[in-house]
Amino acid sequence: MEDEKHGEEQLCTLEKRGNLFFLTLTGAGEHRLNPNLISSLRSALSRLQSDPSATSSSSALITTAQGKFFSNGFDLDWAQSSEPRLQLMSSSLRSLVHDLICLPMPTIAAVTGHASAAGMMLALSHDYVVMRRDRGFLYMSEVDIGLVIPNWFMALMRSKIGEPRARREAVMRAAKLTAEDGVRIGVVDSAHDGAEATVTAAAELGEALVARKWDGHVYAGNRRVVLREVLEAVGYDETVTKVADKAGSKL
Amino acid sequence: MEDKKHGEEQLCTLEKRGNLFFLTLTGAGEHRLNPNLISSLRSALSRLQSDPSASSASALITTAHGKFFSNGFDLDWAQSSEPRLQLMSSSLRSLVHDLICLPMPTIAAVTGHASAAGMMLALSHDYVVMRRDRGFLYMSEVDIGLVIPNWFMALMRSKIGDPRARREAVMRAAKLTAEDGVRIGVVDSAHDGAEATVAAAAELGEALVARKWDGHVYAGNRRVVLREVLEAVRYDETVTKVADKAGSKL
């Protein structure tokens, strides 16, 4: 089930192994979240949901990445501070996060490299996060690079990190969190040695969740209640909307 | 002060021992939260509030006979009938509202399984003490094909601070022992056996009574602390059709 448009670079793959779907951000790059990559990811999720085996029996999604990065955040080079591009990038990511929150199966992010800013948000949009301990950081870089996070980032953070001081360290001190830090603050479920072990752990967790035989739509329905504030918050991004153009970046 | 309607099964009792009121869900059954049981519980709370001695510092301890604290809504009774589901929902939400507004500290002595709406009943108390040797707190909904209403989540958030613990409870339907409950902060203490659990509740009750709080001041502060819950219990979107939004409001 590879996602490959004729003549275009393959940005992600979707593979099925038994009851598990593996969504992989491919290539050795930074997997910057630009509209192309996000669109590929959304297409993959869409194909996943039309897969007959995904709906008829219990499944789980594992999202991972090749190379040094899980995702290094928004593609600011592509956006070049152009407001329409920033708005498009924002609404694309918010739609992807909405898709993940509504996905009718458990989701696991197997973080095998750095996840920064919007890239960290992508990881946090999954039900479970497993991460390699020997390399890679979760890093809210915004305060270091001169950006203000949007409210929806914070809604997602609050939905996953309960302690205000941990949120302060992450956002207002731009802490570079290792997997062990992540386990300590509760945002990472387990830490593993190396990328392979991380993906294996994700698969084991996925199988354990699949074995519960939940109805995927019931599961997603409950997730939507649990993450209700996040679903509301992803409906807008005030950092990319001019006062005179509030319609511009709504989902 | 027994709650006994002539000719009807006694569903709960209300007894006073010193400064403590004991509300007991009676009988060996599952104490399913149907309109009858809820109505009995609300009547008992109403009688409690009219009791003249409740004007000096008191505390409420809610407990149950048998293997179950409460196994949740009476889905057999409801039989997927929308009016019945709406009635059951609004009855429970009214009971939870009553507990949150009760002018005295409240303690749930969980001596058996508390599942789904039954777990919500326990969490509607200020303190929860629980037996460690038997019984689970269990949000069963994802296992039995139901979606929880928003107000359940508001109550969960008001009592369980760690998002991961809430995920384990709701999205993984974890069966939480008393020790698990203590670890995640939803249970205050764990005890060996039902009797020890109720005794612990009574000790805690006495300690709270000894503070000599004005009950109405206490309840007023509780309402501020649990404001989001009070707002959320006003509606249940899972039992309301779009065309009938008035049907299940409190």
Tell me what pLDDT residue A7 has. Answer: 45
* Residue A113: closest CA among A62, A69, A73, A74: A69
Residues in Cβ contact with A98 at an 8 Å cutoff, skipping those fewer than 6 apart: A231, A234, A251
Confidence grade of residue B10 (pLDDT, cut at 50, 70, 90): confident
Question: Which has more pLDDT, B55 or A126?
Answer: A126
C-alpha dihedral, B16 to B62 to B161 to B98, nearest 10°: -80
Confidence grade of residue B249 (pLDDT, cut at 50, 70, 90): low
Tell me what pLDDT residue A106 has. Answer: 98
B100-128 pLDDT tens trace: 999 999 999 999 999 999 999 999 999 99
Confidence grade of residue A241 (pLDDT, cut at 50, 70, 90): confident
Q: Contact B148/A225, CB-based, under 8 Å?
A: yes
A136-187 pLDDT tens trace: 999 999 999 999 999 999 999 999 999 999 999 999 999 999 999 999 999 9
Q: Which DSSP letter does residue B8 get?
A: S
Tell me what pLDDT residue B250 has. Answer: 60
What is the ipTM, given to two decimal places? 0.91
- How many CB pairs (< 8 A) connect A and B? 52
What angle, 0 to 180 degrees and rounded to 10, lies between the N-to-C axes of helices B215-225 and B82-101? 120
What angle, 0 to 180 degrees and rounded to 10, lies between the N-to-C axes of helices A216-226 and B163-170? 150
> Sign of torsion, CA B35 B41 B42 B44?
positive
Confidence grade of residue A8 (pLDDT, cut at 50, 70, 90): low
3-state class of B67 per DSSP? coil
Q: A207 CA to chain B: closest CA distance, Å? A: 13
Q: Contact B161/A159, CB-based, under 8 Å?
A: no
Q: How far apart are CA A181 and CA B227, in angstroms?
A: 33
> Sign of torsion, CA B237 B241 B245 B248?
negative
How does DSSP assign A14-68, residue by residue?
A: EEEETTEEEEEE-SSS---B-HHHHHHHHHHHHHHHH-HHHHHS--EEEEEESSS
Q: Which domains does chain A have, with CATH numbers?
A: 12-246 (3.90.226.10)
In the predicted model, what is the mean pLDDT of residues B87-109?
Answer: 98
B137-193 pLDDT tens trace: 999 999 999 999 999 999 999 999 999 999 999 999 999 999 999 999 999 999 999
B208-234 pLDDT tens trace: 999 999 999 999 999 999 999 999 999
Q: How far apart are CA B127 and CA B114, in angstroms?
A: 15
pLDDT higher than threshold 60 for residue B2: no
Confidence grade of residue A56 (pLDDT, cut at 50, 70, 90): confident
Q: Which residues of A touch B166 (CB under 8 A)?
A: 226
Q: Could you report how far apart the first and last alpha carbons of chain B are, in Å?
A: 28
Q: How far apart are CA B191 and CA B167, in angstroms?
A: 26
Q: Contact A222/B142, CB-based, under 8 Å?
A: yes
Q: How far apart are CA A196 and CA B219, in angstroms?
A: 55
- pTM exceeds 0.90 for this model: yes
Q: Contact A222/B143, CB-based, under 8 Å?
A: no
Chain A residue with CA closest to B174: the answer is: A212
Residues in Cβ contact with B174 at an 8 Å cutoff, skipping those fewer than 6 apart: B138, B139, B168, B180
Q: Could you report how far apart the first and last alpha carbons of chain A are, in Å?
A: 28
B42-87 pLDDT tens trace: 999 999 988 887 768 999 999 999 999 999 999 999 998 999 999 9
| B115 contacts B71 by C-beta, under 8 angstroms | yes
Which residue out of A225, A227, A230 would a mutagenesis test of the B interface target, given it has the greatest number of B Cβ atoms within 10 Å? A225
Checking B164-171 for CB contacts under 8 A at 24+ apart, the result is: B164/A160, B164/A162, B164/A186, B164/A189, B166/A226, B167/A127, B167/A226, B169/B137, B169/B139, B170/A222, B170/A225, B170/A226, B170/B139, B170/B141, B170/B142, B171/A106, B171/A127, B171/A219, B171/A222, B171/A223, B171/A226, B171/B142
